[in-house]
């Protein structure tokens, strides 16, 4: 039983979906501290003038140190950011042969009015995973598990609660994970290696550090060949 635990993000890159595809149970780590300058509310696409950010505005916290958990962060609806995001996506990718197919999945989310950031980003991520053909992974939110603890021990406890004996982690976690805790719990620990082939982007030169939607608009149903199948045609 393979488990993956990662923070919810806005239209994440293809490595995120590689992790989802590998997981029997994928845990959205939604009750850890919100990182203001991370990927929770923003991501990049590749436009004609290079990479550009799409950022969901969130309501600011009055305290100097913002210690809110991700699942407590609220979207700021003082601007019509959703319309702007959809207009940008339509402008950048509208001539794609796969636009109508991918737009059918994406557009309904830009017509929603979620108060909480994670309600939108989690549902959107699950929908995109389905469009990629991921149907066997079970999704869980850590906030529904009621598990506390220090960084590594909490991860181990979450994995135990979902019955996982194999944990796949992003490579940067190697710097801080206490690997002995996984060994003591008889949970195999694996670090991801992100090594993906290039694809023909609508606006070259190629930039690998962009949202999954760039790949989906570019190659449509062939997207998995550029993520986990690794045999692009």
Would residue 232 count as lying in a domain?
no
Would residue 90 count as lying in a domain?
yes
What is the model's pLDDT at position 61? 72
Residue 54 in contact with residue 222, Cβ under 8 Å?
Answer: no
Would residue 231 count as lying in a domain?
no
CA dist., res. 219 & res. 18, Å (int): 16
Mean pLDDT of the chain: 94
The most distant pair of C-alpha atoms in the chain lies apart, rounded to whole Å, by 53
Total tally of structural domains belonging to the chain:
1
In terms of residue numbers, what domain contains 108? 2-226
CA dist., res. 213 & res. 116, Å (int): 22
Name 31's Cβ contacts closer than 8 Å, sequence gap at least 6: 69, 70, 71, 141, 142, 143
- The pLDDT tens digits of the residues spanning 40-80 come to 999 999 999 999 999 999 998 755 556 799 999 999 999 99
Find, among 118, 86, 105, 85, the residue nearest to 8 by Cα.
Answer: 118
What values do phi and psi take at 46, rounded to 5? -110, 110
- The pLDDT tens digits of the residues spanning 5-15 come to 999 999 999 99
Would residue 218 count as lying in a domain?
yes
In this model, does residue 37 exceed pLDDT 90? no
């Amino acid at each position: 039983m393979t488990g993956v635990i990662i923070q919810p993000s806005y239209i994440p890159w293809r490595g995120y979906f590689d992790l989802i595809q590998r997981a029997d149970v994928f845990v959205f780590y939604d009750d850890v501290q919100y990182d203001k300058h991370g990927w929770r509310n923003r991501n990049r696409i590749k436009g004609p003038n290079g990479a550009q950010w799409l950022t969901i505005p969130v309501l600011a916290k009055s305290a100097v140190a913002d210690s809110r958990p991700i699942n407590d962060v609220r979207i700021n609806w003082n601007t019509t950011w959703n319309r702007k995001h959809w207009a940008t996506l339509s402008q950048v990718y509208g001539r794609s042969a796969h636009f109508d197919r991918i737009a059918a999945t994406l557009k309904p989310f830009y017509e929603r009015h979620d108060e909480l950031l994670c309600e939108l980003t989690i549902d959107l991520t699950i929908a995109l995973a389905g469009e990629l053909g991921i149907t066997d992974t079970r999704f869980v939110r850590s906030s529904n598990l009621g598990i506390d603890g220090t960084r590594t021990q909490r991860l181990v406890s979450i994995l135990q609660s979902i019955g996982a004996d194999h944990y796949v982690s992003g490579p940067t976690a190697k710097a801080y994970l206490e690997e002995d805790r996984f060994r003591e719990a008889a949970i195999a620990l694996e670090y991801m290696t992100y090594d993906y082939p290039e694809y023909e982007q609508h606006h070259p030169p190629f930039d690998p550090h962009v949202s999954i939607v760039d790949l989906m608009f570019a190659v449509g149903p062939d997207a998995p060949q550029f993520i986990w199948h690794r045999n692009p045609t």
